[in-house]
């Protein structure tokens, strides 16, 4: 059965319900204007009959607080097919056919950790429970139209989110995969407690191409080694799926 992941709640109301810590990160006038602009647009598109995904665009933010983020994995925009996008970059429900980008992510994990389980769950909730922020540069998309909500305000919003996480004390890793993600590199000035890893997007169109092929990038093992060297726990990338029981908000 395909999960109904269509957006059916006003984006304005979902924005108003964000946890306080993230609302504060989005409080600058220019960011609030961008939020209003994208929410107006998305709500109008849904009202006109457009199919917009996912049902919970802010899920990545409601499962983790800014100060608890250890790793940021930045994608482009949500999957644009029915039953796929669930508000976490690259993640899909377990009963959904595994998208090619996610297959390549697991292929790279198997290469870096050959002794770990070879078939992690499609739903990456277990990563978010360990402090991994799975964020896209745009948080909504229309059915069958990749990047359809790009350049309509989301980029200003996600810039503010990334900048806020980057300001938090403590060691963090930022994984920027593909050109859209790497456009955020300017927000991440060099710091002793910050590691920025760049590679091509895991999509089959780019995963093996130069300048930095995703397959063979070694990002997962590099991130863990760096975190441990800076006194933070490593991420168990092959940890069992934790499912909806771990989707509760961290505080409003």
Q: Which position has the higher pLDDT, 240 or 79?
A: 79
Task: Give pLDDT, residue 240.
Answer: 53
> Could you report the per-residue pLDDT of 121-155, keeping only the tens digit for each?
899 999 999 999 999 999 999 999 999 999 999 99
CA separation for the pair 73, 219 (Å, rounded)? 10
CA separation for the pair 1, 38 (Å, rounded)? 31
Beta bridge partners of 75: 136
> Could you report the per-residue pLDDT of 50-91, keeping only the tens digit for each?
999 999 999 999 999 999 999 999 999 999 999 999 999 999
The residue among 123, 218, 235, 81 whose CA lies nearest residue 172 is 235
Q: Which residues are designated catalytic?
A: 77
Q: Which position has the higher pLDDT, 49 or 247?
A: 49
Instruction: Work out the pLDDT band at 242, boundaries 50, 70, 90.
Output: very low
Q: Is 175 helix (H, G, I), strand (E, B) or coil?
A: strand
Compute the mean pLDDT over every residue in the chain, rounded to the nearest whole number. Answer: 92
* Share above pLDDT 70 across residues of the chain, in percent, rounded to a whole number: 93
């Amino acid at each position: 059965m395909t999960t109904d992941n269509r957006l059916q709640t006003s984006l304005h109301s979902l924005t108003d319900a964000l946890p306080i810590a993230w609302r504060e990160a989005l409080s600058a006038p220019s960011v609030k204007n961008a939020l209003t602009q994208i929410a107006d647009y998305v709500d109008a598109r849904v009202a006109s009959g457009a199919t917009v995904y996912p049902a919970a665009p802010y899920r990545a933010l409601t499962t983790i607080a800014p100060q608890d983020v250890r790793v940021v994995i930045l994608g482009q925009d949500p999957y644009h097919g029915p039953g796929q996008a669930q508000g976490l970059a690259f993640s899909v429900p377990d009963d959904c056919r595994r998208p090619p980008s996610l297959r390549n992510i697991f292929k790279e994990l198997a290469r870096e950790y050959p002794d770990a389980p070879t078939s992690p769950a499609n739903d990456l909730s277990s990563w978010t429970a360990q402090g991994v922020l799975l964020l896209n540069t745009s948080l909504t998309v229309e059915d069958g139209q990749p990047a359809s909500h790009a350049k309509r305000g989301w980029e200003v919003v996600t810039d503010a989110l990334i900048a806020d996480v980057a300001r938090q004390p403590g060691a963090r890793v930022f994984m920027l995969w593909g050109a859209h993600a790497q456009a955020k590199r300017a927000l991440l000035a060099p710091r002793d407690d910050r590691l920025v890893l760049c590679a091509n997007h895991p999509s089959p169109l780019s995963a093996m191409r130069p300048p930095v092929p995703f397959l063979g990038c070694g990002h997962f093992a590099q991130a863990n080694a760096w975190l441990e060297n800076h006194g933070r726990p490593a991420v168990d990338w092959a940890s069992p799926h934790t499912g909806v029981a771990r989707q509760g908000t961290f505080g409003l």
